[in-house]
Amino acid sequence: MKASRHLIKDLLDGKTPAIARAITLIENEDPGAETLLEQVFAKTGNAHRIGITGPPGAGKSTLVAELAKLLRAKNKTVGIIAVDPTSPFTGGALLGDRIRMVDCFTDPDVFIRSMASRGGLGGLACATQDAVDILDAARKDYIIVETVGVGQEELDIVNVADTTIVVLYPEAGDGVQAMKAGLMEIADIFAVNKSDRDGADRLADEIRVMLTMGRRNPPEGGWAVPVIQATAIQGRGMDEIAGEIENHLGFLKGSKLLDSKRRNAANLRVRTIVESRLAADLWKSGRAHTHIDEHVNRILDRKETPHEAARKILEEFLGRPPDIDCPGKPDIITNE
């Protein structure tokens, strides 16, 4: 399936069938997908990109649906990408978060798509950022990306979203401990969902204490991360969350951090694509496969380390010794 002029025109006009076909091209790694992205990329950069992350069971999908309804009440268009685990049988999205967003189905100005993670690290599918660009080009005012829900590994969302919301719930138990390993650092807003249950007040207080004691305690003029108690299924707290989303965007624009975050994300995105394509070229070349069993045998016999094996494979592929001191990836832009 190739990207036609008709498809591009309909996409830029925000027509739902065209958006769906474009994302299918991306997911299927169709030869026309890259050309399509090149032709519409100039129209991106206008949407407010919101990331929703947190542990399984936190009610992220319900919160996303309620947030979408609030935004639609303000006459804003919404795109939703819900990243699910991959089915071991079909390779498709396993859970299908759209089932929990049924109230949004009939609204033509809300586009919902489930995407399989397909082994992507950080809780996101590899094609997620391209799909977000498609929704941006299709003139969606807000794009919400809900991650797969695997806990502390869900850090890639910060390189997609302008505003990241970490959703927790009282029964998570080790939720605050998990935040110490990464989620604490990426939250622009904390939402304690299911706050009608016991322990919600205590969890919210613990988060506030950690924010005060940790390095996220903002300097003068920095962003003070809000902790909002909500019960999304009842709509409670959702107006406050929506308000803080707007406040955060205003802060980013006023402090020039929005440009910094997007520059950092673009930097990392290019590096990731280059690394992915080099790795694919390496393994598809056949040269690495030719000798890898020999290296594995030497590793098992303790005659060679995995690092030595990798270096030799790369040297053969590159035709020169690889640069051992690999350039580091850019740091995450925070709100400090």
Q: 103-149 pLDDT, tens per residue?
A: 677 788 999 998 876 544 444 666 899 999 999 999 999 999 998 76
Question: Residue 56 in contact with residue 150, Cβ under 8 Å?
Answer: yes
Q: Quote the CA–CA distance of 94 and 12 in Å, as a whole number.
A: 30
Q: How far apart are CA 79 and CA 163, in angstroms?
A: 15
Is 276 or 261 the better-scoring residue by pLDDT? 261
Predicted confidence at residue 153, as pLDDT, reads 45
Q: Which residue has the higher pLDDT, 22 or 270?
A: 22
| CB 46 within 8 Å of CB 160 | no
Q: Give pLDDT, residue 323.
A: 73
* Closest by CA position to 21, among listed 4, 38, 40: 4
Q: Write out pLDDT tens, residues 265-323.
A: 899 888 888 888 888 888 877 666 667 888 999 999 999 999 899 888 888 888 888 77
Tokens of residue 113, six digits: 């798509």
Instruction: Decide: helix, strand or coil at residue 285.
Output: coil
Whole-model pTM? Answer: 0.86
pLDDT of residue 278: 85
The stretch 193-209 carries a mean pLDDT of: 92
| Per-residue pLDDT at 272 | 82
pLDDT digits (tens, 9 = 90+) for 224-249: 999 999 999 999 999 999 999 999 99
Q: For residue 83, what pLDDT is reported? A: 86
What 3-state class would DSSP assign to 144?
strand
φ and ψ at 142, to 5 degrees? -130, 140
Token reading at 244: 């803080």
- How far is the CA of 276 from the CAs of 120, 161, 283, 328, in angstroms? 12, 21, 11, 16
| CATH of the domain spanning 45-255, picked from 3.40.50.620, 1.10.10.2160, 3.40.50.720, 3.40.50.300 | 3.40.50.300
All CATH 3.40.50.300 domain ranges of the chain, comma separated, are 45-255
Ramachandran category for residue 122: left, alpha or beta (phi over 0 → left; psi -120 to 50 → alpha):
left
More confident residue, 183 or 282: 282
- Helix axis angle for 128-137 and 5-12, nearest 10°, is 70
Are the CB atoms for 145 and 176 separated by under 8 Å? no
User: pLDDT digit string (tens) for 28-70?
Assistant: 889 889 999 999 999 999 999 999 998 888 899 999 999 999 9
CB 86 within 8 A of CB 51: no
